[in-house]
Structure 1
C-alpha cells in the first residue's frame, strides 16, 4: 500500500512555494510516492482554530501509512492538528512527521504568531506515543530562531524527535533543500 503524505506550507506559503515542487518530484522519482501539498486558508495571517478545523475537515482518516511534513508554522499546524485528533481518538497512529524549520518559540514574536506559541498545556508524551517517528530539520542560522540548540532540545525533550541541524540553511526557503529529502528518507526508514 502507498503512504499518504501531506505537506503544510510555511506562513504565507502556497502549494508551489520554496522547495515543495522539487520535494514532490524527488519523492515521486525515488519512492513512487505522491505528496499532497495543502492549500491553507488565509495563510498570510493563519489562525490556529481555523487551521485546525480546516485540517480536520480535509484529513478525516489517518493510519500508520500517513505522514505529515510541516514547514515553519506548518509544523505547529501539524502538531496542533494531531493534538485535536488525539482528543477525538486516543488510539490513532501515524507513520511519522517531518518538521522543517520547526520552532516552539521565535526570537521576536509578532501579535499573530503568539497564539501559535501558546501550546504549553499539550500532552506531548501522549502524542509521541501515537507517532512512529518524528524528524526535525533545523538550520544554525534561522533568522526566526537563533537559539537552534535550545530549539533542538525542546523537540527532543517534548516529542523524542530525531533532530538534524544543517549549516547555513536559514529558514529552508530555497527551491532545492536536500536536507528535507534526507529527513524524509530517515523518517520512512
Structure 2
C-alpha cells in the first residue's frame, strides 16, 4: 500500500451510541484510525439528520473509509448509500461491516427513531458484510438475511449473542475485527 493513505474506519453506533464495554468503543481505543461519527441526537435518531451527518463525515475524510456500523448505524449506511450519497462520496467507501441491523417492524425497535422504515433493499455500491445473531431481539435472522441478500453482502451468523453489543460478552471481539480488516485491506 506504498504511496496510499491508510483507510480510516468510521464507527457508526446505533440508538443511544455505544458505551465503554461495547466492541465499537473498544476498537476505537485500540486503533487511532477508528473515528466515531458523532450523531446530532443519540436518543431521538432522525434518519435525515443521521444521513447528512454521515455524508459530511465521508466528505471530510482525506482517505478511503470503511464503516463499522452497529444496529441503527447499519440502517443509516443503507439509507445514506441509496438516498443521500453522491458519486464522490460513494467512491471514497471501501466497504462496510454492518452488525445487527434492526428491523423497524420489530416491537423492540426504538419508538424515538424516525424515518428508518421501510429499509432500503437495494444493492449497496461497495463491499459489505452483515453480521447477525440468532437471538437478536431487534432483528431476527430472516430480516438480516433479507438485508444481506438485497445489499449484496456476505452474511455471517455468529449464533446466540443477543444484539451483538456490550451485553454479548464479546470483549475486543477479535473475530469481528478480522472480518472488518478483510474489508479494510481489500483492493
Settle same-fold status: TM greater than 0.5: yes
- Conservation of the 8 A alpha-carbon contact between 1:15 and 1:39: no
2:14 aligns with 10
1:171 aligns with 163
- Conservation of the 8 A alpha-carbon contact between 2:8 and 2:33: yes
Instruction: Note the alpha carbon deviations across 1:102-146, whole angstroms, 9 max, x for none.
Output: 2344421454446212235x6x23xx3x31x2011111111112x
In the alignment, structure 1 residue 187 sits paired with structure 2 residue 183 = yes
Structure 1: 5+ residue runs without aligned partners? none
TM-score, normalised by the number of residues in structure 1: 0.78
Shift of 1:85: 4.3
Shift of 1:187: 2.1
2:94 aligns with 95
Q: CA separation in 1, counterparts of 2:103 and 2:62?
A: 26
Which secondary structure does the structure 2 equivalent of 1:95 belong to?
strand
1:154 aligns with 146
RMSD of equivalent CA atoms: 2.7
1:82 aligns with 81
Q: Detail structure 1 runs of 4+ shifted over 6 Å in the superposition.
A: none
Shift of 1:54: 2.0
Question: Cα–Cα, structure 1 residues 47 and 17, in superposed 2: closer, same or farther, change >3 Å?
Answer: farther
TM-score, normalised by the number of residues in structure 2: 0.78
